[in-house]
Structure 1
Amino acid sequence: MDKNIKAKLILENGPTFNGYAFGHIKDTVGEIVFTTGLTGYQETLTDPSFAGQIVCMTYPLIGNYGINLEDMEAEKPHLSGLVVRSKCDYPNNWRCEIKLEGFLKQNKIMAIEGIDTRALTRFLRNNGTTKAIIAIDNEELTEEYLKEKFDSYSNIDVISQVTSKEAYTIEGNGLHLAVIDFGIKRGILESLKKRGCKLTVFPAFSSVEEILKVNPDGIFLSNGPGDPYYIPQVIENIKELVNLRPVVGICLGHQLLSIAFGCKIERMKFGHHGGNHPVKNLETGRCYISSQNHEFVVSELSEEVMASWVNVNDNTLEGIRHKSLPVSSVQFHPEASPGPLDTGFIFDDFLKIIAEGGNKNA
């Protein structure tokens, strides 16, 4: 542990934690969340759904197998900061290409270690998600500076930061899917590629006309960060698309699809982040362990859809299915990286819905 650079983690509505800075040394602000994955810190770091957030890893030792370029979920990290109990300075894994600290420096991510992450997690569970600042411990940390830093934080335009800049195609011999990219993880694209799909990936704010121009067999709504209500134009597009093609969604895509059908969404107290969330299939009654990363949840269904999955821990909704249209979605991540492999069959179910739903002409 480098004790040369003292730092503080300052919660807007809570305590201050003392530690030591590493990575890119520059004060940062974000919404702080905790994630419970025992492994997969690289996938967490590069998951676009963490954009604008400071992530606390509840597992105490982070960096012990280093970083490699093959397991990246995006080209670069989008999170605002990282909090760990202890970082590993000497990783031991044959696939390691760069140390954790070097990766954070390279991508300009501020981090802090030496924090009591158990106490921090308990606070967030009891009091809810809040803004936080990781800052160098010096005389400049005045009340005025902290207020200005907190007030500067906004995650409203976060989708535009993580979506693809232009459409691109991944060739395949199977179903042709139009993938709407709200910050898609590479693991999702890989899961669809393995099933032979041809994928045309569109930026989040592409028009219905642009999407239908490639004549896809179905529409896939990806994961992503932020509040689904902040992108009303996307919701209007989805309202149109569900009547023209089969549509499936994951995570943010699930929330947007639910809103399009008149369901209500609410912010959770501290969200679901990690690879150990049990979910129950309401059709079969069988439970699976899922990987999740979200702050919002469908709190009220409309008459058009039915619940298909539920969280065993807190009974929150984990999936919907339309009563007549070939449309469904889940809140959790079937590609499961980081996390278990229990729910990979969800992709097969999605593709079956699309295949059986037909291809309506616009």
Structure 2
Amino acid sequence: MNAYVALEGGRVVEARGRSPGTTRGELVFTTAYTGYEESLTDPSYEEQVLTFSYPLIGNYGVREDRFESDRVHPRAVVARELTDDVAEWLTEEDVPSVDHIDTRDLVTDIREGGAMKCGIAVGEDVTEADALAELESCRGMSEHKDIGAQVSVANATVHEGDADGEYAGTDVALVDCGAKGSIVDSLVARGATVHVLPYDATEADVEAVDPDLLFISNGPGDPANFEAAEELVDAFVGEVPLAGICLGQQVVARALGGTTEKMDFGHRGVNQPVRDLETNRVVMTTQNHGYTVGDPGDVLEVTQRNVNDDTPEGLDSDELDVITRQYHPEANPGPNDSLDFFDDVLAMTNHHIEAAPADD
């Protein structure tokens, strides 16, 4: 199949088509060398065109039990080489994909020029003009203010906690701004019952859960688009312990007087180094975000920073029982250096099961 990628700077790259279709979106890249199934099903990639910097994608097949959601979220996929398994999966998902592109050159363009709009056309009869038409359409698109509706549950769902978990009996209200499944799994494994609420949940929805913890999830795009979640933070802070991951950290910061800003090309990969400012310990983390906290405000303390660019990676408030992280402690894909985050946030609820006294 013919395939063309039209870039915002005016360049059109010819490629090999692997799954057909025409589309447009923001062109971003990930440095992850494994976990392509998890990346492709991560709701944070909604409305983006995902470029894999690692040259071979698909060398261990496609397994549904690794998925982070029920579908592929990027609008299109770009790689140096895709295996037939991945190409067939993307065809079934109606997601255009291309390979036989010099992704090193493409990633350099993104690093130097920032994330950019692009148009993609794949098919037997497509031409450069089709890709350019998609790019022009993308240029005319206003930012999607209601992107949460595309990635959130429509109605509340409940995931029962492991009865043997340390935090059995704990109720978590998780506001689904595009949550990865492994976040829910990490809480459930520790015994917490997770009530997944829509991204536009109201105060009454949260009150109906009577939660021991309010959790704001990851999600795509600009945190300013998630006003309802921001209002929930403002309503419940100081009354209920609060936690957030990725976009969730940004939403919490905005609600508590901080600011957020768009990054040049974001952090997307599984090897982002983060330093804890108290212990000076560095952990490797999984990340996927294009926005970051600028000024955290006067309420939250920056407790962790990115080693590469000093952006805030952890925000805490002991007084208000707030803990957030910019990276993904649940990984999938990536290292498990930070899984204790879930123990830390659940410990704020004081609902953990006390250890039985030792026999004399």
TM-score past 0.5 threshold: yes
Counting only pairs closer than 5 Å after superposition, residues 19-168 of structure 1 correspond to structure 2 as 19-23=15-19, 25-89=20-84, 99-136=85-122, 137-138=126-127, 140-141=129-130, 146-152=135-141, 154-168=143-157
Match for residue 5 of structure 2?
9
CA offsets 1:276-321 (integer angstroms, 9 cap, x no match) = 0000111211000000000001111211111011001111110101
Identity percentage over the alignment?
36
Amino acid at match of 1:17: V
- Pair 356,263 (structure 1): closer, same or farther in 2 beyond 3 Å: farther
- Pair 259,325 (structure 1): closer, same or farther in 2 beyond 3 Å: same
Amino acid at match of 2:5: L
* TM superposition shift of 1:114: 0.8
Distance 1:139 1:120 in 2: 18
Distance 2:173 2:217 in 1: 10
Counting only pairs closer than 5 Å after superposition, residues 185-334 of structure 1 correspond to structure 2 as 185-334=180-329
- Pair 139,213 (structure 1): closer, same or farther in 2 beyond 3 Å: closer
Distance 2:290 2:260 in 1: 10
Amino acid at match of 1:353: M
SS of equivalent to 2:344: helix
User: What's the TM-score once normalised by structure 1's chain length?
Assistant: 0.91
User: What's the TM-score once normalised by structure 2's chain length?
Assistant: 0.91
* TM superposition shift of 1:110: 0.4
Distance 2:321 2:146 in 1: 31
CA offsets 1:164-207 (integer angstroms, 9 cap, x no match) = 01001111242111111111111111111111111111011110
> Would you say the 8 A contact 1:52–1:155 is kept in 2?
no
Q: Which runs of 4+ in 1 moved over 6 A?
A: none
- Pair 263,302 (structure 1): closer, same or farther in 2 beyond 3 Å: same
Pairs aligned (count): 343
SS of equivalent to 2:350: helix
Distance 2:112 2:127 in 1: 30
- Pair 142,330 (structure 1): closer, same or farther in 2 beyond 3 Å: closer
Distance 1:38 1:161 in 2: 27
5+ unaligned residues in a row in structure 1: which ranges?
Answer: 90-98, 358-362
* TM superposition shift of 1:26: 1.2
Counting only pairs closer than 5 Å after superposition, residues 325-344 of structure 1 correspond to structure 2 as 325-344=320-339
SS of equivalent to 1:104: helix
Match for residue 360 of structure 1?
none
- Pair 29,51 (structure 1): closer, same or farther in 2 beyond 3 Å: same
* Pair 1:346 & 2:332 matched: no
Q: Which sits farther off after the overlay, 14-23 or 35-44?
A: 14-23
Distance 2:331 2:16 in 1: 32
- Pair 145,125 (structure 1): closer, same or farther in 2 beyond 3 Å: closer
Match for residue 95 of structure 1?
none
SS of equivalent to 1:213: helix
Distance 1:139 1:18 in 2: 8
Q: Output the aligned Cα RMSD.
A: 1.7
> Would you say the 8 A contact 1:30–1:153 is kept in 2?
no
- Pair 125,143 (structure 1): closer, same or farther in 2 beyond 3 Å: closer
- Pair 84,153 (structure 1): closer, same or farther in 2 beyond 3 Å: farther
Distance 1:334 1:234 in 2: 21
SS of equivalent to 2:107: helix
